[in-house]
Amino acid sequence: MNWTILNGVNKLHDEMKEWMGHLHQCPELALMETKTANFIAEKLKSWGYDVVEGIGKTGIVASMTVGKGNKTIGLRADFDALPIQEVNDLPYKSKIEGVSHLCGHDGHSTMLLGAAKYLAETKNFNGTVRLIFQPGEETMEGSPAMIADGLFERFPVDAVYGMHNMPGLPFGKFHFCENEMMAAVDNWEIELTGKGSHGSMPELSIDPVVCGSSLVMALQTIVSRNVSPWQNSVVSVGAFIAGNAGNIVPQTALLRLSIRNMEPKLREMVLNKIRSITKSQAEAFGCKYEIREGIPGAVLLNTPENTQWAASVARNTFGDDQVVYPAHPYMGSEDFAFMLQKKNGTYCMLGNGDNFMVHHPQYVFNQDILPIGAAYWAALTEEYLK
């Protein structure tokens, strides 16, 4: 156990809860996080960091060099919110209607801020630490935007590290996984256009609701009948939007899909199946169709050596019983995958305890893990920059 770091970061717990409470009450959606970015940047400047704002639109990189060491470590946290109405009765509940931090990005940024203040006060390292505060993770746009804006050319790092809270995992336990850690995501929309009519005269219509219902069921056969049980793939229809009255056959129906795969060839097969099934279903019911393919994600691949090292640092800091390694991968997605395409590093999960899953209206980030996450960041920095 590294009691120096643990005790030092624990002293910041009350401050961290205040910072997170502020961020949670004022959530902002992807690439519109101007107030969030300003709050974070002002904190970092006050602690002596060299802060550059506006990277990839609203991203931030804060750097601090101590001593003459030539090593550089990158630590990344995200700070965008979700377009979901929070239903929790928290003293710091979101003040923005229909927008909330129901994935814990406010907590992620707070943990990195806690590490930032601790490192600035103690300066117990020799080299450069770069803190990457990233926008737009939920839309898969933020990481590519920062990279396109010269993130790693302007702010070189030897390796980059990320972390996410995970409900359902034991409180405060770290989970590490080598190689494939999270899936590539494709968020698609399928719009079906038929012919509207009065509900009492369906024979005069071409019903996109019936077509869409059949399509939803047909899409379920892709994984169950085309993907080996030894492979990982998910096709979910998360939204089916059509009409607003029971006595009207609507003109259009909209399906929103979340598609996740762990392998590039499997991904192409699944996407082609969605295209062909949509075409055949639409033709069978006489509907026209349009598929709108969203921004593609990428499989998150953890570098084995960096994963082993990070897990060993976590063990030394928190104890062997607080680290699970190797852990199982997740079918969730993360645009940190794009950073790991450019740099070695690893992404781990931190247990948020027994809680509603992220993106649920009643999800709550457990504020008691704030100093745990901050201590992990601080330990990685001090160990790498000895």
Active site residues: 80, 137
Q: Tell me the DSSP string of 231-256.
A: S-EEEEEEEEE--S-TTEE-SEEEEE
Q: Which amino acid, 138? A: E
Q: Which amino acid, 278? A: T
User: How many CB atoms neighbour CB 256 within 10 A?
Assistant: 16
The SS3 assignment for 62 reads strand
276 vs 280: CA distance, rounded Å:
6
How far is Cα of residue 353 from the mean position of the Cα atoms in its chain?
18
Please, is 70 exposed, middle or buried when counting C-beta atoms within 10 Å of its C-beta (0-12, 13-18, 19+)? Answer: exposed
Q: Tell me the DSSP string of 113-150.
A: HHHHHHHHHH---SEEEEEEEE--TTTT-HHHHHHHTT
